[in-house]
Structure 1
């Protein structure tokens, strides 16, 4: 029948019924909304009863919809147009018996049923958390973050309105004072001290190679990739410590702890002492003494002791004594 079709737009489903008698039953054609196919059915027996339910399928059985919705019934048009609006309903819908709304109305002939879905979630069969199938604030934030990162990447790569020149050990780079100021209180105070100088500014980072400095800028602009971070961890750690970029310092410490082995443990221990990385130092001590890897570095330990800080050596001996107790 022509009036069994349900029109949909966005999250709204509308069923226009042309002819409905005093004792009738009618079921719509299936319509798609979200990831499910749906039906609306109506029947009259004193009240007008409206049912909403998903089409029986494997999907609706394994992941039944959790729907939050409002219904509205109105006669089609005219000066005496009336509305009946339901409360907000929220429930799991599996069959035609899961939801019914009785409407005390004498509407006959032509009228309209609107169903506005405020949210649709897939009910997890494994007992997990229900999640909306529609874009949420988190997804919107992800899109916004990606857009912002693309803009920052262009600003850095194309030196758009760059007002900062960085002189490295083997080349120069362009950047933006505002980005560096927002990333480091030390940079910010440095620029404040020179606020009366010309618009462009030059800083010297000759203790870093151009490639390492590029990685530092990529981190500050939010565009660094894992390979560059991995390859330049130690220069990045030195810069993070020097310019008080604490989140980068923490990321470098965590990364250096992840690939600790017998070949690098003494070097990492020295870095941990130099940059006051307590977690890395503790990890090195655990690796050497608790796991007995001190015997794997017997050939290197003498050279290490010749150059190690006296206080670090005292801590190492104290660690040994603690284990022997």
Structure 2
């Protein structure tokens, strides 16, 4: 039989718990996320000694954060109990911080956690004996999430594995890879900035309308059977051709993403451009966010631009890179700078 609450109508356990803890609204339990970052904003712990966040999605799992105030403050991070968690518990690498949202934004940072298997709420507990008052933010940056390999051996990253499965081209047959790596009947030479390699007109033309146009008209590339790609190193060019031929490796792709993005834009290979776009979204951090933002503007990558803006402004990372941001203001495109300031002003109005 359902019980009725004086203020809430039909009794619901989660909502009743929140009423008992001080009438806090649902936003007090919400965790904001980007692809690898989670932030929980806590207004005040004075009214209670325990609080558990709503579930938030990261990788394949739903997660929770909780705080418990006793003699010290305990912060916990753990996956929600489910069949997935029982059968494939996450092996997580992450950095967790508690940041004061006061003007000085002081931060307490736990030492980096590497490849820790998390099954329940006792697997990661961080005791903090520094008194915290007022508003603060729990900031979790996931560096990697892995699951145990079904075949044994080393755990597999779900992000790397997921990327490979999504981006592998179904038509990239093993024979195409052999044609490139073994130089079977190559009929055109590509000159990179520091080396050369052979390729096949038909394959290049099938994958790129720009290459197709080169070989269809009386241009020097058709006449001389040579393509000059002087703005790419031979290593980046090899990665570019490996992707075209369906012969790429994930680590190789990660090492040459920006060069591949430029080539994809130049030669109008939309699936490669989208692959770079999606991959660059996955590991935004304070070291690369400004470069990613400029590339997003230069190559018209709206999702990346939005994510970088959100990371800088909504998640407050602009305060952590003040010197780099000042240098960015001196060199970046004026329209892009105006967009950043518009985002900052909008955030302040909504604060």
Whether 2:347 is the aligned partner of 1:297: answer no
Instruction: For residue 322 of structure 1, report the CA deviation from its aligned partner.
Output: 1.5
Change in 2 beyond 3 A, CA 1:263/1:197: closer
Whether 2:201 is the aligned partner of 1:209: answer no
- The one of 248, 264, 267 aligned to 2:288: 264
2:344 matched residue in structure 1: 320
2:200 matched residue in structure 1: 176
RMSD: 2.0
1:222 matched residue in structure 2: 246
- The one of 225, 231, 245 aligned to 2:255: 231
Instruction: For residue 149 of structure 1, report the CA deviation from its aligned partner.
Output: 2.1
For residues 33-56 of structure 1, the C-alpha deviation after alignment (integer angstroms, 9 at most, x for no partner) is xxxxxxxxxxxxxxxxxxxxxxxx
Following the alignment from structure 1 to structure 2, what is the Cα–Cα distance between the partners of residues 229 and 167?
20
Which contiguous aligned blocks of 4+ residues in structure 1 show a shift greater than 3 angstroms? Answer: 145-148, 195-200
TM-score by length of 2: 0.49
Name the SS of the counterpart of 2:313 in structure 1. Answer: helix
Structure 2 alignment gaps of length 5 or more: 1-168
TM-score by length of 1: 0.53
Contact 1:218 1:224 in 2 (8 A): yes
Following the alignment from structure 2 to structure 1, what is the Cα–Cα distance between the partners of residues 339 and 333?
10
Structure whose CA Rg is larger: 1
Whether 2:273 is the aligned partner of 1:249: answer yes
Following the alignment from structure 2 to structure 1, what is the Cα–Cα distance between the partners of residues 222 and 260?
29
Structure 1 alignment gaps of length 5 or more: 1-144
Whether 2:186 is the aligned partner of 1:162: answer yes
Instruction: For residue 308 of structure 1, report the CA deviation from its aligned partner.
Output: 0.2
2:298 matched residue in structure 1: 274
Instruction: For residue 146 of structure 1, report the CA deviation from its aligned partner.
Output: 8.3
Instruction: For residue 200 of structure 1, report the CA deviation from its aligned partner.
Output: 6.1
Change in 2 beyond 3 A, CA 1:146/1:241: closer
Provide the aligned length of Structure 1 versus Structure 2. Answer: 181
Following the alignment from structure 2 to structure 1, what is the Cα–Cα distance between the partners of residues 292 and 171?
37
Following the alignment from structure 2 to structure 1, what is the Cα–Cα distance between the partners of residues 334 and 293?
13
Following the alignment from structure 1 to structure 2, what is the Cα–Cα distance between the partners of residues 271 and 237?
9
